[in-house]
Amino acid sequence: MNPITLQTELQYLPGGGPRRAELLSRLGLQTVSDLLWYLPRDVLDLTEVRTPDRLVPDEIQTVRGVVVDRDSRQIRGGRTLTAALLDCGSDYVRGVWFNQPWMMQKLQDGQNILFSGKPKRKQARWEFSHPRIQYLDPEDTESDGGVIPKYRLTEGLRLHELRNLMRTAVDACAESVEEWLPDALREQLHVPHIGTALHLLHLPSSRADYESGRRRLILDDLLEFQLAIALRRRAWRNREAAPALQATARIDSRIRKLFPFRFTTGQNQAIREIARDLSRTQPMHRLLQADVGAGKTVVAIYSMLLSVAAGFQSVLMAPTEVLAAQHWQTLDELLEQSRVQRLLLTGSLTAAERNLAIDRVNRGEVQLVVGTQALIQEDVLFPRLGVAVIDEQHKFGVEQRARFSGASTPHVLVMTATPIPRSLCLTQYGDLDLTVIRDMPPGRRPATTHRVQNRDQQQKAWEFLRKQISAGRQAYVICPRVETESAAARDAAAEKVYDYLSRTELSEFRVALIHGQMPRQQRADVMAAFRDAETDVIISTTVVEVGVDVPNATLMVVLQAERYGLAQLHQLRGRIARGLHQGYCFLFSDSESEEALERLTALESTSDGFEIAEKDFQLRGPGDVLGTRQHGDMPLRVADVSRDAALLDEAHTCALQLIDSNSFESPEFHRLKRRVVDRFGEMIHLPQTG
Ligand code: ADP
Ligand code: MG
């Protein structure tokens, strides 16, 4: 017989044969190599199984037995009670389910199963209420009681059959799988040889074995991803030179004098880091992270003015028109006395105005441009671009970032609206250097946040709001998020809220509505009127960013707050923590879902945006936090960035070190490098400038 190799087809593997090979091919498995890479989903740990005499009440435990009796009956209150009796050898235990009559079908007499849950002693017998059930393959588990890997199966293929084949394949070939990690790196990361890892995963003798094999594969996954990101980071740095922009003491003090306040320690630190980058020809590629209201805009403006002072252009790109207008207003006020040639590029310019404006930029007459990313990327070609600031608001993907065109490479500063959880930062923004502002401008008081549950509390909240508004404050009311429907439906919902509130709770005040489909000019007018205190209350859908700075607006009501994510709610209430007066945020929600409760309570108890970001991530996962709602965004195979956060950190550090020290270029990394390029070649490649 031929020796078994990785290429051997499964029908020729002892115990294989044409019938099983056909079943295996339904799982996408053709060769021994395919089989080895068919990883268990989990393990069944039978070493932790207890006999009934060793059970204790109210702790999670597992028993194993054979189903010997089942029944289902109506009990009081129209409920059904389904019960199953399990013969555990020495004694019987009972499992019970309320209102789950289908459990009768899920259990069959004679089945070999596990119950897991918290047992209670009932009439001299242990009883599990709603236990978790796991099915055992009797032919498999009779022989060994250890740790059993579980695989996705297909109809007709039994677990013990797959495991027998796996054993043969692992014994014959696992050691011949080609290793791609150099020995030294493997030692540094404390991971086994890849062959050993596969052995531990498929044939573990303890849960620790299995975990050790799994750790190797997760680290591989994360390391390759982080290496790709680190290569991309290096590509940024190796781009064509950017202009070296020197901040002299004179320039520095001239810029600072424009602001009516002193910078915070965090702002100063951020400015130092950025100024250091700008003074070099290596293009800056930096992410500025801070909580809402910490004063990122100040840092962005400083960087832009530094570029202007050094004789170069700068640009600020915002995700929406409203935000672009807001940035523009801030800048325009600061520069009132200055001759800096500046321009706001918005969609409301006529074609002729726009052409004229763009022409002035392209000729280099305009030093400072603010606009939406869409407009600027489409039309503008900067002849002397020094600094580009991108205000991201979580809305742009990695590819779109910084695809503006210019005659030279600019320094790039990316800002996000709210803090991003660390592990997401490492995956989504890992190719940027990171600057974090931790402190807040002085005198800033976080908004007091209250969850408002029932009608009674609602009434009290409205009463409080009316008092505050009568005393001169202004308020935002944020409408319930409408998930699946059209923009029109969303706006209609907001209009209803507006009609209702302006007739009832807010009838004595000047109330305005703002929503997504409103013409741009009208929206700007509504915001301007609010800013000038000509209206008391704005009712808004969040589609319209309430990203506007109105210090006198210190009140906020969020209707059906449970429909919003934590980070989003935090960002919203950031709008009312900017002025001299204490802000109050009321989260209306009568939801009884435990998860919603946990989220809203988190907001009541902390105002630290970084903490909230981590919590949001734990509760909702990466896709939702980034607002993409696409979990598939994460190009990982076995790792999970929230579960494996610690390994991600390790992989990140390791990747940076390998790339920065250049050791990744040495021949021993050849195989690993090929894997990275095969998987992530496209990501490493940067978009072109010019
Ligand atoms: P964000 O980080 O959310 O973008 P902003 O840059 O919009 O924050 O700043 C929020 C508010 O705080 C603005 O009104 C700004 O003028 C003010 N501000 C920023 N820095 C300081 C400071 N050092 N001292 C006092 N007020 C400041
Ligand atoms: Mg801002």
- Contact residues for 151 (Cβ-Cβ < 8 A; gap 6+): 38, 40, 41, 159, 162
pLDDT of residue 407: 66
pLDDT score of 686 more than 80: no
What is the per-residue pLDDT across 476-528, written as a single tens digit (0 to 9) for each?
999 887 665 677 777 788 899 999 999 999 999 999 998 878 887 888 889 88
- Residue of the CA atom closest to atom 10 of ligand 1: 293
What is the per-residue pLDDT across 439-489, written as a single tens digit (0 to 9) for each?
999 887 889 999 999 999 999 999 999 999 999 999 999 988 766 567 777
293 CA from centroid of ligand 1 (Å): 6
Residue with tokens 């700007």: 524
* Strand ranges of the sheet holding 537-540, from the earlier edge strand across to the other edge: 448-452, 584-588, 553-558, 474-478, 537-540, 511-514
Say if residues 159 and 23 touch (Cβ distance below 8 Å): no
d(CA 578, CA 34): 59
What is the per-residue pLDDT across 362-373, written as a single tens digit (0 to 9) for each?
999 999 999 987
AA identity, residue 123: Q
Q: Which ligand is nearest to the CA of 418?
A: 1
pLDDT score of 99 more than 50: yes
415 CA from centroid of ligand 2 (Å): 9
pLDDT score of 299 more than 90: yes
What is 318-329 written as a DSSP string? ESSHHHHHHHHH
Say if residues 476 and 511 touch (Cβ distance below 8 Å): no
d(CA 226, CA 222): 6
- Contact residues for 388 (Cβ-Cβ < 8 A; gap 6+): 314, 315, 317, 402, 404, 410, 411, 412, 413
* DSSP summary character for residue 672: H
CA distances, 456 to each of 459, 462, 504 (Å)? 5, 10, 16
pLDDT of residue 305: 97
CB atoms within 10 A of CB 485: 10
Q: Which ligand is nearest to the CA of 261?
A: 1
d(CA 88, CA 663): 58
Strand partners, 134: 114
Q: How confident is the model at residue 394 (pLDDT cuts 50, 70, 90)?
A: low
- Range with the largest mean pLDDT of 59-73, 257-271, 388-402: 257-271
Q: Which two three-digit tokens encode residue 446?
A: 């976080």
Long-range contacts of 173-177 (CB under 8 A, 24+ apart): 173/4, 173/5, 173/6, 173/32, 173/33, 173/36, 174/36, 174/198, 174/199, 174/202, 176/5, 176/6, 177/6, 177/33, 177/36
Residues in contact with ligand 1 by the CB-under-6-Å rule are 261, 263-264, 267, 290, 292-298, 441, 549, 578
Q: Which ligand is nearest to the CA of 322?
A: 2
* DSSP summary character for residue 205: S
pLDDT score of 194 more than 70: yes
CA–chain centroid gap for 102, Å, is 37
- Contact residues for 256 (Cβ-Cβ < 8 A; gap 6+): 263
583 CA from centroid of ligand 1 (Å): 16
Q: What secondary structure, in 3-state letters, does 92-121 show?
A: EEEEEEECCCCHHHHCCCCCEEEEEECEEE
Q: Which two three-digit tokens encode residue 419?
A: 């803090």
pLDDT score of 403 more than 60: no
Phi-psi region of 555 (alpha: psi -120 to 50; beta: other; left: phi over 0): beta
Pocket test for ligand 1, best of 296, 297, 327, 445 (most atoms within 8 A of CB): 297
- Contact residues for 1 (Cβ-Cβ < 8 A; gap 6+): none
pLDDT score of 649 more than 90: yes
What is the per-residue pLDDT across 27-53, written as a single tens digit (0 to 9) for each?
999 999 999 999 998 888 887 888 999
What's the sign of the alpha-carbon dihedral 644, 650, 655, 660?
positive
Mean pLDDT across the stretch 615-634?
A: 58
Atom of ligand 1 nearest to the CA of 549: 14
Per-residue exposure over 360-395, b if at least 16 CB sit within 10 Å of its own CB, e if not: ebeeeebbbbbbbbebbeebbebebbbbbbbbbbbb
d(CA 303, CA 271): 8
Q: How confident is the model at residue 220 (pLDDT cuts 50, 70, 90)?
A: very high
- Residue of the CA atom closest to atom 17 of ligand 1: 295
The Cα diameter of the chain in Å comes to: 93
Q: Residues in the chain, how many?
A: 690
pLDDT of residue 203: 95
Atom of ligand 1 nearest to the CA of 294: 2
d(CA 209, CA 196): 10
* Element at 389 (helix H, strand E): strand 385-391
Per the prediction, the chain carries an average pLDDT of: 88
Quote the Cα angle for 392-396-397, to 5°: 135
Which position has the higher pLDDT, 406 or 628? 406
The torsion of the CA quartet 94, 98, 103, 108, rounded to 10 degrees, works out to 20
296 CA from centroid of ligand 1 (Å): 7
pLDDT score of 576 more than 80: yes
pLDDT of residue 624: 52
- Residue of the CA atom closest to atom 24 of ligand 1: 441
What is 233-293 written as a DSSP string? HHHHHTSSPPPP----HHHHHHHHHTSSSPPPHHHHHHHHHHHHHHTSSSPPEEEEEE-TT
372 CA from centroid of ligand 1 (Å): 21
Q: Which two three-digit tokens encode residue 598?
A: 């946990």
* DSSP summary character for residue 130: S
d(CA 463, CA 451): 15
- Residue of the CA atom closest to atom 5 of ligand 1: 295
pLDDT score of 689 more than 90: no
Backbone phi, psi, residue 186, to 5°: -60, -40
Pocket test for ligand 1, best of 257, 292, 298, 575 (most atoms within 8 A of CB): 298
What is the per-residue pLDDT across 128-160, written as a single tens digit (0 to 9) for each?
999 988 888 766 655 456 788 989 999 999 888
pLDDT score of 690 more than 70: no
pLDDT score of 384 more than 50: yes
The torsion of the CA quartet 393, 395, 401, 404, rounded to 10 degrees, works out to -90
Strand partners, 512: 538
Residue with tokens 């999970």: 640
The lowest-confidence range among 159-173, 564-578, 581-595 is 564-578
d(CA 391, CA 413): 8
Q: DSSP 3-state assignment of 69?
A: strand
What is 534-560 written as a DSSP string? S-SEEEE-TTS------TTEEEEEETT
CA–chain centroid gap for 156, Å, is 40
